[in-house]
């Protein structure tokens, strides 16, 4: 079963515009992470936000976390064609062994030049 | 600096055949994972390991076996492949909670 559900499933924007995608999850978490996957490649870690944090920035990325609503959002500002990829949220429930992550279904982002 | 390396990159099997997917990491990470990725399903955890000589079941372990004889290697085995195991398989390793992924093995079972 998927812990995280991303919305929308797909997003098409023009270069320079902002892209926002949301993630909802079901159970308590230790942290939430966002990953990017380019076509035919493995996932690459983008940013981690802990359960006691509300907002985090990394370059053109801004992540928010609302634990009361069990939701997170990822904002990519001033998008570039190179941002075309699938984006996944992943939750860490803080289990004692393994730092296991549960991934959502992803949001496919197309940035048109 | 290779990171996580998966072999092979592609494989076609016939139903009932067996194979082993190899994952190697050079980052001295304790934890390693095998996920499968299917369209619209995200990634689902098959098996994982918290250290050399240990393995544990994930969300979808049936039909797969794993071994972690050396810290840097994590093997995923399919004893009798089925069409439902057609998927892209990703290996990952971690140290402090963020995962480092290989580039995947695309497996087709006919």
pLDDT in tens, B57-90: 999 999 999 999 999 999 999 999 999 999 999 9
- The string over B42-54, giving b where at least 16 C-beta atoms fall within 10 Å of a residue's C-beta and e elsewhere, is bbbbbbbbbeeee
Interchain proximity A1–B59, CB inside 8 Å: yes
Interval A36-61: pLDDT, tens: 999 999 999 999 999 999 999 999 99
Tell whether A105 is within 8 A of chain B (Cβ).
yes
pLDDT for position B41: 76
B58 interface with A at CB cutoff 8 Å = yes
Contact yes or no for B63/B86 (Cβ under 8 A): no
Do A23 and B81 meet the contact criterion of CB atoms below 8 Å apart?
no
Residue-wise pLDDT tens digits, A69-80: 999 999 999 999
Say yes or no for a CB contact (<8 Å) between B50 and A98. Answer: yes
- Mean pLDDT in residue range B101-107: 97
pLDDT over threshold 70, residue B1: no
Q: Is the pLDDT of residue A1 over 50?
A: no
Cβ-based neighbour number of residue A7 at 10 Å: 15
Residue (of B31, B34, B30) closest to B43 by Cα position = B34
Per-residue pLDDT, A99: 73
Token representation of residue A2: 């998927």
């Amino acid at each position: 079963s998927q812990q995280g559900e991303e919305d929308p499933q797909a997003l098409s924007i023009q270069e320079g515009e902002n892209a926002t995608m949301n993630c909802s999850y079901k159970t308590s978490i230790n942290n939430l992470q966002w990953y990017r996957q380019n076509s035919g490649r493995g996932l690459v870690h983008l940013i981690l936000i802990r359960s006691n944090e509300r907002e985090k920035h990394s370059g053109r990325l801004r992540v928010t976390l609302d634990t009361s609503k069990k939701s997170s959002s990822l904002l990519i500002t001033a998008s570039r064609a190179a941002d075309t990829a699938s984006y996944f949220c992943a939750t860490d429930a803080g289990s004692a062994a393994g730092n296991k992550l549960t991934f959502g279904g992803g949001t496919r982002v197309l940035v048109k030049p | 600096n290779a990171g996580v390396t998966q072999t092979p990159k592609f494989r076609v099997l016939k139903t009932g055949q067996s194979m082993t997917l190899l994952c190697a990491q050079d980052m001295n990470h304790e934890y390693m994972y095998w996920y499968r990725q299917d369209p619209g399903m995200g990634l689902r955890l098959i098996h994982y390991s918290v250290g050399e000589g240990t393995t544990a079941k994930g969300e979808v372990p049936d039909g797969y076996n794993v071994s972690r004889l050396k810290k840097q290697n994590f093997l995923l085995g399919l004893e009798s492949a089925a069409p439902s195991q057609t998927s892209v398989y990703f290996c990952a390793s971690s140290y402090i909670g963020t995962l480092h992924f290989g580039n995947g093995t695309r497996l087709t079972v006919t």
